[in-house]
Structure 1
Amino acid sequence: MDSCNSVSDEVAVVMVPLPAQGHLNQLLQFCCLISSYGLPVHYIGSAIHNQQARLRANGLDPNKISKIHFHDLPTPHFDSPPPNPNAPIKFPAHMQPTWDASQLLRHATATILRELASKARKLVIIHDYLMSSVVQDGASLSNAEIYTFNCVSVLCMVSYIYQQLGAQFVEKEGELRELLPTYGGCATEEIMRLGAAQREYAKFKAGDIHNSSRLIEGPFIDLLEQGEMAQKWSQWFIGPILPGKPGLISNKANSCLDWLDQQPKNSVLYISFGTMTSMSDKEVRELALGLEQSKQRFIWVLRDADKGDIFSGTPREIEVPEGFEERVKGVGVVVRDWAPQPEILAHPSTGGFMSHCGWNSCMESITFGVPIAAWPMHSDQPINSFLVAKIIKTGLMVREWADRQEVVKSSTVENVVRRLMASEEGDEIRKRAQQLGENIRKSAQEGGGSQKELNSFIAHITR
């Protein structure tokens, strides 16, 4: 990696994430990867969201974080309402004011871009798709190049492109197209409008970076590369962007890791629905009863969805059935604060992950070889759960997307948990997940496919 040091003073890299935890996290991980090549990396966002990114830098080495230049912009005013656990669709509509406000960072961002461009031979701007309009002024800088970082699966991109633009999957994918979950109930009209508004600014990009791997999504990467869009812009598939050995420094004091140390190998189910899902009291009750009836070990992260400003107010305390925690003592642990997810998934005692299937969680689970009990809630998650359970076959569905209006019963939870954690079928899925995880971790090491893609991207931006 030292070969790039000669250009480190000449090339500056800028990251502009969307203020949502999974996006802040992926771009911060990517910062650490690029910084390891000796390039200066700048992370631009509102002050509160940069603070959120630093506070929750899961599994990342603090020494690497300290090398990143954070630009804490004044936070535009926005409403930060609590999530609605009883909303008819699970999409976090309460975050919309945050994302609308993030579009007001354009001029402050442009000032930083101009300043950095005046000192560098080349300025490389990497941004979340939904921040395309915020970085648009980079297109007027003669020594700047703009790249989109895609925080979703390639299958999600391909299925969206083909559905939206009316093109057809090539014939061999016809059956798959019929089976893919629909986009109904995935998102709100407001977020779709925000996405559509970015399209005219996306044309300024020089290429796309994907947090995915040919080992996971080979056929869909081939499809994407055959498409008209991929022929216009260069594509790099650099996933996984995770640290190789998470948590060597950051979370040794966390009590749930101490508890995991005392459990048998592959025996614990980790349950987390990310930072954007708010479950109703009824859903929580059925899940709790299902876990108790399954008699399997578990760590359950039980937190309400993030507000736009995670530092304002107190989150809703979520109630479990009376006496639940006493009855499962020694078998299950309920965690009500921030949990170190990569460290939990990388722990040898963890044998399964009940997940909403956000792409960050999928990539972490797949990379560490942990099979998934897939329970999609919104956005790209129905497509990701289909990929995990039906295509690479490293998981089981808790609930099909077509049944999203129904509350998942405790008997269903119990059945899926037992199948995944205590059956021959689960053992086979776990073996498959562990083998794929091993191959993916190798691909991110020197000489591996993902490492070559990353080297190729670095060579391209420092040419």
Structure 2
Amino acid sequence: MADDQHSLESVVVFVVPFPAQGHLNQLLQFSCLISSYGIPVHFVGFKTHIHQAKSRNLQDLQKIHFHEFPTPHVDSPPPIIPNSTLKFPTHLQPSFEASKQLNEPFSNLLNEFSNKVKRIVVIHDPLMSSVVRDFSTIPNAESYAFNCSSVFTQFFSFWDAIGRPFTVESMPKYIPSLDGCFSFDIMNFMAYQHEFMHYRTGDLFNSCRLIEGTYVDLLNKLEMNANKNQWSIGPILPDLTICKKHSISRHKSLEWLDKQAPKSVLYVSFGSTTTMTDTQIQELAMGIENSKQKFLWVLRDADKGNVFDGETRKARLPEGYQERTEGIGIVVTDWAPQLEILGHTSIGGFMSHCGWNSCMESITMGVPILAWPMHSDQPWNATLISDILEVGIQVTEQAHQIELLSSSTIEKAVNILMVSKEGEELRSRAEKLGREVWKSRDEGGVSQLELNSFIAHISR
């Protein structure tokens, strides 16, 4: 055991997340997981983003070493109201571009540590590849890309881009189009980061082979991944009992849920990068109200580049809405503890944008999804949920390309999920898959074995 302990102390891990909530969150959870093995973990970023990650996390972070570099002055405009063809949060682009400035301070940090430890392991978001690139000049450093999107999305977007080099048996009936998913600027940014990806040793996925094993194997067949190690170590989620212990007081939404019948409430949330027009909010509000179903709706605009920077727009609900829906639903306009909400016995469905974090949380908690993708990888994730895993349905086909979804379309979809026979079958499948995925993290489970394999690999 003493030898083991010595080998662990000779490895240090640096984690470099991309500055957007879904990415910060997954990498902070993973940092906690690695540190539980007794490996020192250093979490690197600008002060504002580290503060953001900490403020929305309920885990014990005492073991993590945070390196908070001064945030450069960057425009932090309010979210841009989306037009019909592009719902991507273009207001965050200045913040994304500024992240490149971490390259020099991060390189200095690596050089400072390189003489003190046997091995430096860099775990980074693929969108931070240019920031960590200098690890390749340090003989005892190696890097791993931690992918915050589904393997399904990764595989099909690359396979499609390089001309579909081989046939795929488990093809979905419809592969989403890139149109309207990404801005021109973010496509350029991603292409620039991709240039530095070939330096990495391997890939980590916040996914589980029970969900995406087929696509992990297919991704392995692509030439760009030749000789790269791969580990599917998800779901990377905090222990809910630990969350409760670190929570100062229970969120009001959980107290409201305590009073509702099992599986009777629709949870509605569109994540941290979605902004809806006033008109769409009105249609959504009416659709939910007319469905007569119980609901918990988290209604917020997309995050700003600096989430601590001043006021955000308060969305306008229809006149008298909260009075009319009193006792039926509640609308929350602040940050809500999503994992605890999804884990609550009263939740029977989740209307979601299908960010990968939300998908993994919903799958693991056994909650079926009413998918309403907006941009980025979300249409692919929605296809995986509805067509492949069959634990959800889509509000409508290609929702991200439709200018306005009507209240009647929304009402119909809500009722299918919450009170139809089809909805019951979805719930039953979601619960079964959730139990299996949850068990994959137990000793001997498929994800736990992959995680042990990764820890053994970096501690070799």
> Normalising to structure 2: TM-score of the pair?
0.97
Alignment of 1:355 onto 2:352: yes
Between 315-324 and 107-116, report the one with greater CA deviation.
107-116
CA distance in 1, matches of 2:119, 2:127: 24
Give CA deviations for 1:117-147 in whole Å, capped at 9, x if unaligned: 2211111000000100000111111111111
Give CA deviations for 1:386-425 in whole Å, capped at 9, x if unaligned: 0001110000101221672231111111111111111111
Residue 165 of structure 2: which of 155, 165, 168 is its match?
168
Alignment of 1:194 onto 2:189: yes
Give CA deviations for 1:191-239 in whole Å, capped at 9, x if unaligned: 1111111122111100000111111112211211222233221111111
CA gap 1:3/1:317 in 2 versus in 1, 3 angstroms: farther
Counterpart of 1:278 in structure 2 is 275
Alignment of 1:206 onto 2:201: yes
CA distance in 1, matches of 2:440, 2:2: 20
SS in 1 for 2:14: strand
CA distance in 1, matches of 2:392, 2:56: 27
Residue 416 of structure 1: which of 413, 416, 426 is its match?
413
Counterpart of 1:66 in structure 2 is 62
Counterpart of 2:25 in structure 1 is 25
CA distance in 2, matches of 1:293, 1:6: 63
Q: Is the 8 A contact 1:216 1:392 kept in 2?
A: yes
Q: Is the 8 A contact 2:374 2:400 kept in 1?
A: no
Give CA deviations for 1:61-106 in whole Å, capped at 9, x if unaligned: 22xx111001000111211111112434100010000000000111
Alignment of 1:75 onto 2:71: yes
Which amino acid is the alignment partner of residue 112 of structure 1?
A: L
Which amino acid is the alignment partner of residue 363 of structure 1?
A: M
Which amino acid is the alignment partner of residue 26 of structure 2?
A: Q
Which amino acid is the alignment partner of residue 20 of structure 2?
A: A
Superposed displacement of residue 169, structure 1: 4.0
Superposed displacement of residue 2, structure 1: 10
SS in 2 for 1:339: coil
How many residues end up aligned between the 2 structures?
A: 457
Between 290-299 and 404-413, report the one with greater CA deviation.
404-413
Q: Is the 8 A contact 2:146 2:203 kept in 1?
A: yes
SS in 2 for 1:70: strand
Counterpart of 2:47 in structure 1 is 47
CA distance in 2, matches of 1:340, 1:68: 22
Which amino acid is the alignment partner of residue 183 of structure 2?
A: T
CA distance in 2, matches of 1:135, 1:43: 13
Residue 83 of structure 2: which of 70, 82, 87 is its match?
87
* 4+ runs deviating over 3 angstroms: 1-6
SS in 2 for 1:283: helix
Q: Is the 8 A contact 2:181 2:400 kept in 1?
A: no
Which amino acid is the alignment partner of residue 162 of structure 2?
A: L
SS in 2 for 1:133: helix
* RMSD, matched Cα: 1.5
Residue 295 of structure 2: which of 298, 306, 311 is its match?
298
Counterpart of 1:249 in structure 2 is 245
CA distance in 2, matches of 1:403, 1:302: 18
Which amino acid is the alignment partner of residue 286 of structure 1?
A: E
SS in 2 for 1:24: helix
CA distance in 2, matches of 1:184, 1:444: 37
SS in 1 for 2:196: helix
Alignment of 1:235 onto 2:221: no
Superposed displacement of residue 182, structure 1: 0.8
Alignment of 1:462 onto 2:437: no
Give CA deviations for 1:39-61 in whole Å, capped at 9, x if unaligned: 0100000000000000011xx42
CA distance in 2, matches of 1:276, 1:250: 26
Residue 368 of structure 2: which of 355, 366, 371 is its match?
371
Which amino acid is the alignment partner of residue 59 of structure 2?
A: D
Q: Is the 8 A contact 1:354 1:374 kept in 2?
A: yes
The percent of aligned pairs where both chains have the same amino acid is 52
Q: Is the 8 A contact 2:208 2:235 kept in 1?
A: yes
Give CA deviations for 1:440-463 in whole Å, capped at 9, x if unaligned: 010011110000000000000000
Q: Is the 8 A contact 2:11 2:121 kept in 1?
A: yes
Give CA deviations for 1:133-177 in whole Å, capped at 9, x if unaligned: 00011111111111100000011111111111123342524x53x
CA distance in 2, matches of 1:381, 1:398: 13
CA distance in 2, matches of 1:54, 1:80: 20
CA gap 1:122/1:392 in 2 versus in 1, 3 angstroms: same
Counterpart of 1:147 in structure 2 is 144
Which amino acid is the alignment partner of residue 84 of structure 1?
A: I
CA distance in 1, matches of 2:168, 2:314: 50
CA gap 1:403/1:192 in 2 versus in 1, 3 angstroms: closer
Give CA deviations for 1:278-334 in whole Å, capped at 9, x if unaligned: 000010000000111111111100011111011112000101001000101011010
Which amino acid is the alignment partner of residue 204 of structure 2?
A: I
CA distance in 2, matches of 1:406, 1:193: 25
Q: Is the 8 A contact 2:87 2:400 kept in 1?
A: no
> Normalising to structure 1: TM-score of the pair?
0.96
CA distance in 2, matches of 1:407, 1:171: 34
Alignment of 1:222 onto 2:217: yes
